[in-house]
Structure 1
Amino acid sequence: MSSVHSSPEPGRTPATYEDALTELERLVAAMEGGQLPLDQLLQSYRRGAELLSFCRGRLEAVEQQVKVLEDGQLKPFAAS
């Protein structure tokens, strides 16, 4: 029985937030499985950190673009 693990691709920027999130979820599942060799585990951790940073950056960029109408004026969106 062969198991296929997609190896992380450090430095490759995801095309979209959703792509990054999907790759991050795959990495977490593989890491939680406890079957990765130590070197691949470390590589996956580093890639996960890159993906997390990408996702946070995209969310912050979107948050800056979202505006709410308050008393007839556009104001920056404030997360509750």
Structure 2
Amino acid sequence: MATASKHGPAAPASYEAALQELEQLVARLESGDMPLEQLLTQYQRGAELLTFCRDRLEAVQAQVKVLDQGVLTTWTSDEQ
């Protein structure tokens, strides 16, 4: 899991790291063992991770569309 900064949890290092953290978070939320105060915070973190994963998938889908059209271009990630 990524380390937290003083402004909140750090952005995941990769799609795979975000997905793993999200899966662990969902398991903890579903367990029902989390104190009420942490539920909202953890839910918000889950929403951030979900957005991160969706953004990464959309970027890859856009690149695949370019490749499918036969136009090869260099792909750059906006967040790296």
TM bin, normalised by shorter chain, reads 0.7 to 0.9
Structure 1 partner of 2:70: 74
RMSD: 2.1
2:41 is aligned, of 40, 43, 48, to: 43
Structure 1 partner of 2:74: none
* Higher radius of gyration, 1 or 2: 1
Q: Which has the higher helix share?
A: 2
1:64 is aligned, of 29, 38, 62, to: 62
The letter of the residue matching 1:13 is A
The letter of the residue matching 1:41 is L
Higher mean displacement: 59-68 or 17-26 = 59-68
Identity of counterpart residues, as a percentage? 58
Is there any run of 5+ residues in structure 2 with no aligned partner, and where? Answer: 72-80
The letter of the residue matching 1:29 is A
**Aligned residue pair count:** 65
Query: In 1, Cα distance between the equivalents of 2:9 and 2:26?
Result: 18
Is there any run of 5+ residues in structure 1 with no aligned partner, and where? Answer: 1-5, 76-80
The runs of 4+ residues in structure 1 deviating greater than 6 Å are none
Q: Which has the higher strand share?
A: 1
TM-score relative to the length of structure 2: 0.72
Higher relative contact order, chain-length normalized (CA < 8 Å, sep 6+):
1
CA deviation string 1:28-60 (max 9, x = no partner) = 000000000011111110000000000000000
Query: How far does residue 11 in structure 1 lie from its aligned partner after superposition?
Result: 4.1
